[in-house]
Chains A and B, each alone.
Chain A
Amino acid sequence: MSAPGAGTVRVIDRTGIARLVEELRGQGYRVLGPTLGDGAIVYEEVASVDDLPAGWTDEQEGGSYRLKRRGDEAWFGYASSPHSWKRLLHPPDVRLWQARRRDDGSFDLSEPPPAPKMAFLGVRSCDLQAILVQDRVLRQSEHPDPVYAERREMAFIVAVNCGDPSAVCFCASMETGPRAQAGFDLALTELIDDSRHEFLLEIGSAAGAAIAEHLPGREAGEADMSRADAVVATAAARMGRRLDTGGIKELLQENQLHPHWEEVAERCLTCGNCTMVCPTCFCTTVEDTADLTGDIAERWRRWDSCFTLEFSYMNGGSVRNAPAARYRHWLTHKLASWYDQFGTSGCVGCGRCITWCPVGIDITEEVEAIRAHPQPHGSSLG
Chain B
Amino acid sequence: MKGIDAILAEHPFLGGFSRDALSVIAGCAANRRYDAGSYLCREGEPADHFFLIRHGRITLETNAPERGALTFQTLGEGEILGVSWLVPPYRWDFDARAVGLVRAVAFDAACLRGKCEADHDLGYELMKRFVPELVRRMQAARLQSLNLYGQTE
A and B touch in the complex (CB under 8 A): yes
CB-defined contacts of B153 to chain A, threshold 8 Å: 315-316
CA distance A315 to B152 in the complex (A): 6
CA distance A315 to B153 in the complex (A): 7
CB-defined contacts of A315 to chain B, threshold 8 Å: 152-153
CA distance A316 to B151 in the complex (A): 10
Chain B binding surface, main DSSP class: loop
CA distance A381 to B110 in the complex (A): 43
CA distance A315 to B150 in the complex (A): 11
CB-defined contacts of A316 to chain B, threshold 8 Å: 152-153
CA distance A212 to B153 in the complex (A): 62
The closest CB in chain B to the CB of A315 belongs to B152
B-contact bits for A240-251, CB 8 A (1 contact / 0 none): 000000000000
The closest CB in chain A to the CB of B151 belongs to A316
CA distance A316 to B152 in the complex (A): 6
CA distance A316 to B150 in the complex (A): 12
* Residues of chain B in range 137-153 having any CB-CB distance to chain A below 8 Å: 152-153
Interface size on B, residues (CB 8 A): 2
Nearest Cβ in chain A — how far from B150, in angstroms? 11
Nearest Cβ in chain A — how far from B153, in angstroms? 5
Nearest Cβ in chain B — how far from A4, in angstroms? 65
* Residues of chain A in range 310-345 having any CB-CB distance to chain B below 8 Å: 315-316
The closest CB in chain B to the CB of A317 belongs to B152
The closest CB in chain B to the CB of A316 belongs to B152
Nearest Cβ in chain B — how far from A310, in angstroms? 15
A-contact bits for B67-111, CB 8 A (1 contact / 0 none): 000000000000000000000000000000000000000000000
CA distance A316 to B153 in the complex (A): 5
CA distance A314 to B67 in the complex (A): 35
Nearest Cβ in chain B — how far from A201, in angstroms? 61
* Residues of chain A in range 288-309 having any CB-CB distance to chain B below 8 Å: none
CA distance A281 to B74 in the complex (A): 53
CA distance A180 to B153 in the complex (A): 52
CB-defined contacts of B152 to chain A, threshold 8 Å: 315-316
Nearest Cβ in chain A — how far from B119, in angstroms? 38
* Residues of chain B in range 28-62 having any CB-CB distance to chain A below 8 Å: none
Nearest Cβ in chain B — how far from A186, in angstroms? 55
Nearest Cβ in chain A — how far from B147, in angstroms? 13
The closest CB in chain A to the CB of B153 belongs to A316
Nearest Cβ in chain B — how far from A126, in angstroms? 44
* Residues of chain A in range 209-238 having any CB-CB distance to chain B below 8 Å: none
* Residues of chain B in range 112-153 having any CB-CB distance to chain A below 8 Å: 152-153
CA distance A211 to B117 in the complex (A): 98
The closest CB in chain B to the CB of A314 belongs to B152
CA distance A118 to B152 in the complex (A): 48
CA distance A315 to B149 in the complex (A): 11
Nearest Cβ in chain B — how far from A316, in angstroms? 4
CA distance A315 to B148 in the complex (A): 12
Nearest Cβ in chain B — how far from A318, in angstroms? 13
B-contact bits for A178-190, CB 8 A (1 contact / 0 none): 0000000000000
CA distance A316 to B147 in the complex (A): 15
CA distance A158 to B152 in the complex (A): 53
Nearest Cβ in chain A — how far from B24, in angstroms? 39
CA distance A93 to B153 in the complex (A): 31
Nearest Cβ in chain B — how far from A238, in angstroms? 55
CA distance A271 to B150 in the complex (A): 34
Nearest Cβ in chain B — how far from A317, in angstroms? 8
CA distance A145 to B89 in the complex (A): 71
Nearest Cβ in chain B — how far from A113, in angstroms? 38
Nearest Cβ in chain B — how far from A241, in angstroms? 44
CA distance A337 to B153 in the complex (A): 32
CA distance A134 to B152 in the complex (A): 37
CA distance A111 to B153 in the complex (A): 38
Nearest Cβ in chain A — how far from B98, in angstroms? 39
CA distance A277 to B152 in the complex (A): 36
The closest CB in chain A to the CB of B152 belongs to A316
CA distance A297 to B150 in the complex (A): 34
- What are some 4 contacts across the A-B interface (CB < 8 A)? A315-B152, A315-B153, A316-B152, A316-B153
Q: Which A residues lie at the B interface, using CB under 8 A?
A: 315-316
Which are the 4 A-B pairs with shortest beta-carbon distances?
Answer: A316-B152, A316-B153, A315-B152, A315-B153
